[in-house]
Structures are given as structure tokens and as C-alpha cells.
């Protein structure tokens, strides 16, 4: 996909449609591809039918050769008009997310859930129907995985954007979601420098929620005593990038003398993001899974805490199921994981 996306802007600007536009209209044309990810996973294949403010304009054909194989991709350009303002963009619904809606509606899958107690050191695991909360979790993972894929190749950076939105909110129409995104992207392209958002701003993933949750802190870095130095590196990097001290939960100062389990319990209720250092040191603790379940309990399910394990690179990657992690970051001795963490929690 990346070999085609990096040709997107040239394809648009070299088209007869674009060349026939006035300079004024061109200022309202986004050359990005917008991947639309609705909260319900309800995929729409005829976008103009869903919103009268959206009209089909033209189709772009992108051809390329990769590994000796001919590839072709068709992308539709739409106009979005709200009142007297019109913008243009390419957008689509990723068809794969529709599968999650089918799984939920028709009970086609069962997921294991771990709860405190029942099994020594690990908690009890029960197979349960694929729920709305499971769907949100998988949708969150899809969002971060897709963003990581899109931004993996330098020549594809900023060529596409994943738009999470709550399609059950009737006040926020699809045309409004697209218009807001296009105007924001065009403004950033003009100014180029993107400033850090100060304070506890809602991350993209919150657009999947019906009600906005309030958090006292932005992030907490959970770690064993052996990994204290690695945790401090993460905290120092977040501060260096502009995150305020008041946004970082300092468990040692807040809860002096408390156990690691107690710190996790309190942090899970007060922090939006929960960075969990799962290095070899931590994974050697056989009671880890039990401690995590005991500490976090329902907070992961009810408070929607976002868990990001930072894991050692290894062939057998093991992340405790109880964490219900939304994305994970490989630990890097050269510190490359620090910027990845910042880009998520900021």
C-alpha cells in the first residue's frame, strides 16, 4: 500500500480535474486519504448516500509495480459542502472493521476474559461473548496498528489519516467530521510546525466513547524496582517534549511507602494512559498476571484506561491477557521507543 500512497499527491495534482481548478479552490483540496473508522464499525460503501453534504467528484487510478507484480488502486474524490464552504478529499471505510460488527451482532466469536481470584496467581479465565467493550478494544488496536503502518515508511508520512468518530452522535455528521479534519490538516500544512497540545486533551481514541471521562493525570509509568531507571528515562523524555509535571502521576510522592499493587490500583483510576514496563525483569515475576488483575480490576473495563506495554524484543512475546492492552511498544536500548510513546500519549 505504501508504494501507492506516496504517489497520491502527484496523482491528484497532475490530474485534469485539479488543473482545471482555480488557485482559490485548490487551497481547499486535501491530498490525503482519510480512513473512516466509526464507533459502531458500521461500514458504508456509498458515502454520498449517507450525507447530503457529500458529493462524488472523480476517481483516481494509481498503478505501480511491486515485487514484479502489477498493482492498481482506485480512490474516489468527494466534495464536502457545509453552508457556503466547500472542501475536497479522498476517503473510504476500511472494510475489515465491518467484520467486528458482524461478530458482535451475530455472536460469531468468544473472547477470554480474566478476572481476579479462582486460579492461583493468575486469576480465572472465562470465555465470553464478543461484547461492545471488546469491539472498542479491538477498534483501538486497529487504530494504532494502522497508524503505525502508515507512518512506518518515511515517504508515506502524512499521506493518510485514520479518522475515529462516534457515528451514534447525530450532531456530528460525517460531513462535519471530514470538514473539521480537512481544515485542520490544511492549516497544519500551511504552518508545518505542529505544536504540542497542552493539558489533558482527549486523545483520538476517546472519540469512540459516548461520554467523555475525566482524568486527573495524563500518564503513569508502571514498573518493577529493577526497571526504575528505564521508567525514569520515559518520564524524562515526556517532560523534555513538553508534558507538564502535573500531567505525570508520581506514585512515589502521591503514595509514599505504598506497595506496587496499591500504586497501580490508584493510578488506574486517575490516569488516562497506563504505560507498563514488561521487560524480562518484570516477566520473571510469576505472580505478575495475578497482581495486575487484583490491582486494576474493573478499572480497565469501566474507566477505559489505555494500557501500553513496553516489551523486550523476543521471539516469544507474552503480554498478560488481563492488561487488555490497546497497543504495545518494543523496548529499544537506543531509546527509539521513547518517541513512539510520546506520540501516543501526547
Convert the pLDDT of each residue in 195-204 to its tens digit. Answer: 444 333 344 5
Q: Are 173 and 83 in contact (CB under 8 A)?
A: no
Distance CA 294, CA 265 (A): 8
Distance CA 77, CA 54 (A): 10
Of residues 248 and 2, more confidently modeled:
248
pTM of the model: 0.62
Confidence of residue 75 (pLDDT cuts 50, 70, 90): very high
Distance CA 101, CA 39 (A): 10
Q: DSSP states of 229-249 as a string?
A: HHHHHHHHHHHHTT--GGGB-
CATH 3.30.450.20 assigned to 213-345? no
Convert the pLDDT of each residue in 85-124 to its tens digit. Answer: 999 999 999 888 887 777 767 665 555 444 444 434 444 4
Task: Choose the CATH number for 2-98+133-191 among 3.65.10.10, 3.40.50.1370, 3.40.1190.20, 3.40.50.12100.
Answer: 3.40.50.12100
In the structure grid, which three cell numbers stand for residue 158, read together? Answer: 502524512
Burial of 231 (0-12, 13-18, 19+ CB in 10 A): middle
Distance CA 218, CA 273 (A): 6
Cα 95 from chain centre: 18
Convert the pLDDT of each residue in 265-307 to its tens digit. Answer: 788 778 888 888 877 766 666 666 566 655 565 555 555 557 7
Q: DSSP states of 84-102 as a string?
A: TEEEEEEEE--GGGHHHHH
pLDDT > 70: what percent of the chain? 64
- Residues 6 or more apart from 56 whose CB is under 8 A from it? 47, 48, 76, 77, 78
- 3-state DSSP assignment of residue 218: strand
> What number of CA atoms fall less than 13 Å from residue 197's CA on the CB side?
11
Confidence of residue 235 (pLDDT cuts 50, 70, 90): very high
Q: Are 110 and 127 in contact (CB under 8 A)?
A: yes
Convert the pLDDT of each residue in 29-54 to its tens digit. Answer: 999 999 998 888 889 999 999 999 99
Element (H, E) at 72: strand 69-82
Looking at the chain, the domain(s) classified CATH 3.40.50.12100 span 2-98+133-191
- 3-state DSSP assignment of residue 220: strand
Amino acid at each position: 500500500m505504501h508504494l501507492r500512497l506516496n504517489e497520491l499527491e502527484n496523482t491528484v495534482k497532475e490530474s485534469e480535474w485539479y488543473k482545471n481548478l482555480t488557485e482559490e479552490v485548490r487551497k481547499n483540496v486535501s491530498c490525503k486519504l482519510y480512513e473512516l473508522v466509526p464507533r459502531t464499525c458500521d461500514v458504508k460503501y456509498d458515502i454520498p448516500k449517507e450525507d447530503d453534504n457529500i458529493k462524488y467528484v472523480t476517481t483516481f487510478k494509481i498503478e505501480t509495480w511491486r515485487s514484479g507484480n502489477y498493482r492498481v488502486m482506485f480512490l474516489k474524490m468527494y466534495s464536502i459542502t457545509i453552508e457556503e464552504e466547500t472542501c475536497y478529499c479522498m476517503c473510504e471505510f476500511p472494510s475489515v472493521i465491518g467484520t467486528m460488527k458482524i461478530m458482535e451482532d451475530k455472536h460469531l466469536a468468544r473472547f477470554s476474559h480474566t478476572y481476579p481470584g479462582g486460579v492461583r496467581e493468575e486469576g480465572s479465565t472465562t470465555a465470553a461473548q464478543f461484547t461492545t467493550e471488546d469491539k472498542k478494544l479491538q477498534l483501538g488496536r486497529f487504530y494504532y496498528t494502522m497508524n503505525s503502518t502508515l507512518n512506518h515508511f518515511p515517504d508515506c508520512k502524512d499521506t493518510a489519516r485514520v479518522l475515529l468518530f462516534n457515528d451514534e452522535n447525530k450532531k456530528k455528521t460525517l460531513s462535519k467530521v471530514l470538514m473539521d479534519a480537512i481544515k485542520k490538516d490544511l492549516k497544519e500544512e500551511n504552518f508545518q510546525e505542529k505544536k504540542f497540545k497542552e493539558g489533558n486533551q482527549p486523545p483520538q481514541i476517546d472519540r469512540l466513547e459516548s461520554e467523555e471521562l475525566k482524568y486527573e493525570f495524563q500518564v503513569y509509568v508502571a514498573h518493577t524496582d529493577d526497571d526504575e531507571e528505564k521508567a525514569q528515562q520515559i518520564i524524562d523524555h515526556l517532560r523534555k517534549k513538553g508534558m507538564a509535571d502535573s500531567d505525570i502521576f508520581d506514585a512515589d510522592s502521591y503514595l509514599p511507602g505504598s506497595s506496587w499493587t496499591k500504586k497501580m490500583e490508584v493510578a488506574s483510576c486517575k490516569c488516562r494512559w497506563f504505560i507498563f514496563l514488561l521487560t524480562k525483569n518484570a516477566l520473571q515475576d510469576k505472580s505478575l498476571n495475578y497482581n495486575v488483575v487484583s490491582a486494576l480490576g474493573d478499572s480497565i473495563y469501566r474507566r477505559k484506561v489505555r494500557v501500553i506495554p513496553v516489551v523486550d524484543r523476543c521471539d516469544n512475546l507474552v503480554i498478560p491477557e488481563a492488561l487488555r492492552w490497546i497497543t504495545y511498544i518494543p523496548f529499544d536500548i537506543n531509546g527509539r521507543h521513547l518517541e513512539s510513546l510520546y506520540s501516543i500519549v501526547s
